[in-house]
């Protein structure tokens, strides 16, 4: 089955041909660890996890290297430390742990390597030295800057003209820059800021050089796939290309650039700065991680995805159908799981997860009607498709018994859970499942929450 991927660099879908099929190499920009991940940050983790699983299936598990970094030196981290007084390592370690927890509950495999920026400062200093030696960087007031004018290829990924670049993203104008496009490779640190000794004084790296240095360390100068969200195309990925190609005398850096679309909330990109975000942590108190994962995979990864709780709730119900089928097939002897060709074909077509899922749900329909002689094959196909998508791996009975686990804190969260249960009850009644509707009502009553049905729907009050 041949894999095709949409390459931002070519602005087209291309056949994927790895440089070395015995070692397929992918790098994805990971989190900056100053705060909990929101569900938008989870989108690239889940999308590239599916690609990782697919590559492992196509090339063999031992033949895929997936590197996802941890950015643990950044001005946002310093700011968080200044605001709360919590030591920097405590912030970064706690947030890294939270991130690992969140993405594992979302069904993501750990990457092959997860380098931390602070463990690779020497690699960054070495690369900055190479850029200076080759005439692509200059020093000014304790900073080292990349000189964009020295790179004739600059702009190859984002295809922006200089006006758009200036108007576009975070291009900082500073008096020590020769041009506003020049970006920081190294900057001086104040005494109370994290810093490392370097040929240019005590300081810390810029964000872009981290990824160039760490990807080279683990994947070499040229590798196959680089991923991240669309917001990273410019300036982050454009600058990574400039650094890496210029440090390597023009040798190509990455062959396929993949970018996921935005997760949207209330019509805007979900982001910390806009405040329109939901952390994975808070959603996990309301929904099983697998339902959240499915909600991220039901839309093609390059499309914008509107976040709604109702959407996740529908995914939970869809998974209930799958797990009910798997529970009913529990006694059927398991043959080797293998994804059906239609699912593999859809995923190989630029990760068409919505189409792959449509095939899976058709299979679930077949499972319910299957003759005993067909059941083993259907079970194997369901489990095989699930393994590729990172779904259906749980104990069906446990899944079907899952219920929201409200954290002790958070009045607001409790309200959300109540609303979710009311919505579930409404759905149950619509489906004439009155026993279930009554169970939800009594469960809430046991917590002192009384439901009142009226013409305008159901409201609640405390007993
Ligand atoms: P950050 O921690 O902000 O650097 O983001 C980590 C990853 O999440 C990057 O790959 C971003 O492109 C991605 N990302 C951030 N916000 C969103 C969003 N609303 N939708 C999809 N991806 C996002
Ligand atoms: Zn990066």
* Confidence band for 167, pLDDT divided at 50, 70 and 90: low
98-111 residue pLDDT tens: 999 999 999 999 99
pLDDT at position 408, please? 44
- CA-to-CA distance for 60 and 277, rounded, in angstroms? 37
Task: Pick the atom of ligand 1 nearest to 265's CA.
Answer: 19
Whole-angstrom distance, CA of residue 240 vs CA of residue 459: 53
Which residues hold their Cβ within 5 A of ligand 2, which is an ion? 29, 211
4-264 and 286-400 share one CATH topology?
A: no
The answer to whether the beta carbons of residues 400 and 324 sit under 8 Å apart is yes
Q: How confident is the model at residue 132 (pLDDT cuts 50, 70, 90)?
A: very high
Entry pTM = 0.87
Choose which CATH entry (3.30.70.240, 3.40.50.300, 3.40.50.10330, 3.40.50.620) describes domain 4-264. 3.40.50.620
pLDDT value, residue 282: 94
Q: What is the pLDDT of residues 379-395, one digit of tens each?
A: 999 999 999 999 999 99
Is it the case that residue 112 has pLDDT exceeding 70? Answer: yes
What's the distance, CA 147 to chain centroid? 31
Relative orientation angle of helices 372-389 and 309-328, to the nearest 10 degrees: 140
Tell me the per-residue pLDDT of 262-288, one tens digit each, with 9 for 90 and over. Answer: 999 988 999 999 999 999 999 999 999
Mean pLDDT over 66-84 rounds to: 97
From the annotation, which residues make up the binding site?
29, 211, 236, 240, 272
* Ligand 1 pocket, residue 31 CB under 6 Å: yes
Domain boundaries, the chain: 4-264, 286-400, 421-462
From residue 160, alpha-carbon distances to 7, 114, 165, 196, 233 in Å are: 17, 32, 6, 35, 11
In this prediction, residues 216-244 reach a mean pLDDT of 97
Residue with the bigger pLDDT between 420 and 76: it is 76
Q: What is the DSSP letter of 334?
A: P
Mean pLDDT of the chain: 93
User: Which mutation among 92, 229, 267 tests ligand 1's pocket best, with the greatest number of atoms within 8 A of CB?
Assistant: 229
Q: Is 262 in the pocket of ligand 1 (CB under 6 A)?
A: yes
Distance, in Å, from the CA atom of 345 to the CA atom of 196, rounded to the nearest integer, reads: 49
Query: What percentage of the chain has pLDDT greater than the value 90?
Result: 82
Give kind and range of the element (H or E) at residue 148. none
Q: What is the pLDDT of residue 18?
A: 98
Instruction: Note the pLDDT of residue 27.
Output: 98
Whether 328 contacts 378, CB under 8 Å: no
Sequence-ordered list of residues with C-beta below 8 angstroms from that of 61, at least 6 positions apart, any chain: none
Q: Is the CB of 103 under 6 A from ligand 1?
A: no
Helices (H) then strands (E): counts for the chain = 16, 15
Q: What is the pLDDT of residue 462?
A: 87
The values of phi and psi at residue 123, to 5°, are: -65, -40
Residue in 41, 225, 230, 296 to alter for ligand 1 test, most ligand atoms within 8 A of Cβ: 41
Q: Which carries the bigger pLDDT value, residue 193 or residue 445?
A: 193
Q: What number does the ligand 1 atom closest to the CA of 227 have?
A: 10
Q: What is the pLDDT of residue 447?
A: 79
Is residue 262 within 8 A of residue 12, CB to CB? The reply is no
- Residue 265 contacts residue 296 (beta carbons within 8 Å): no
Q: What is the pLDDT of residue 428?
A: 81
Q: How far apart are CA 51 and CA 351, in angstroms?
A: 7
pLDDT of residue 449: 87
Which residues, other chains included, contact 314 with Cβ-Cβ below 8 Å and sequence gap of 6+? 295
Binding residues for Zn(2+): 29, 211, 236, 240
pLDDT for the residue numbered 43: 98
CB of residue 269 inside a 6 A radius of ligand 1: yes
Q: Which ligand is nearest to the CA of 38?
A: 1
Q: Which CATH class is domain 286-400?
A: mainly alpha
| Model confidence pLDDT, tens digit, residues 305-356 | 999 999 999 999 999 999 999 999 999 998 899 999 999 999 999 999 999 9
Cβ 440 under 6 angstroms from ligand 1: no
């Amino acid at each position: 089955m041949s894999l095709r991927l949409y390459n931002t660099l070519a602005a087209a879908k291309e056949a994927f041909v790895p440089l070395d099929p015995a070692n397929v190499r992918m790098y994805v920009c990971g989190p900056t660890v100053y705060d909990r991940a929101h569900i938008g940050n989870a989108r690239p983790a889940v999308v590239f996890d599916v690609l990782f699983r697919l590559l492992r299936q196509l090339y063999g598990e031992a033949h895929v290297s997936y590197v996802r970094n941890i950015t643990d030196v950044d001005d946002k981290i310093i700011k968080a430390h200044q605001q709360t007084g919590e030591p920097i390592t405590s912030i970064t370690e706690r947030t890294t742990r939270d991130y690992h927890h969140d993405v594992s509950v979302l069904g993501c495999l750990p990457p092959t390597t997860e380098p931390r920026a602070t463990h690779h400062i020497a690699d960054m200093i070495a690369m900055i030295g190479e850029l200076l030696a080759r005439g692509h960087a200059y020093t000014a007031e304790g900073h080292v800057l990349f000189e964009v004018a020295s790179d004739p290829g600059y702009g190859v990924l984002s295809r922006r003209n200089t006006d758009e670049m200036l108007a576009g993203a975070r291009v900082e104008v500073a008096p020590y820059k020769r041009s506003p496009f020049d970006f920081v490779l190294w900057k001086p640190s104040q005494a109370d800021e994290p810093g490392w000794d370097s040929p240019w004084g005590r300081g810390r790296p810029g964000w872009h050089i981290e990824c160039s240095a760490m990807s080279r360390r683990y994947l070499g100068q040229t590798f196959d796939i680089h991923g991240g969200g669309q917001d990273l195309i410019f300036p982050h990925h454009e600058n990574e290309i400039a650094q890496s190609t210029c440090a390597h005398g023009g040798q190509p850096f990455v062959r396929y650039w993949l970018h996921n679309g935005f997760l949207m909330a209330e019509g805007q990109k979900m982001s910390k700065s806009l405040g329109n975000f939901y952390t994975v942590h808070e959603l996990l108190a309301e929904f099983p991680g697998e339902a959240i994962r499915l909600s991220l995979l039901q839309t093609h990864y390059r499309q914008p995805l509107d976040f709604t709780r109702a959407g996740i709730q529908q995914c939970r119900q869809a998974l209930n159908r799958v797990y009910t089928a798997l529970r009913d097939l529990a006694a059927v002897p398991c043959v080797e799981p293998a994804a059906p060709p239609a699912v593999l074909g859809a995923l190989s077509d630029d990760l068409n997860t919505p189409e792959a899922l449509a095939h899976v749900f058709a299979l679930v329909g077949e499972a319910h009607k299957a003759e005993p002689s067909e059941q083993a094959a259907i079970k194997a196909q369901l489990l095989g498709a699930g393994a590729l998508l990172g779904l259906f791996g749980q104990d069906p009975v446990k899944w079907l018994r899952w219920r929201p686990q409200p954290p002790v804190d958070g009045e607001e969260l409790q309200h959300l859970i109540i609303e979710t249960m009311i919505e579930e009850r409404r759905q149950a009644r619509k489906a004439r499942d009155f026993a279930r509707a009554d169970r939800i009502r009594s469960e809430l009553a046991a917590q002192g929450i009384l439901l009142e049905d009226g013409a305008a729907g159901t409201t609640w009050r405390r007993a």
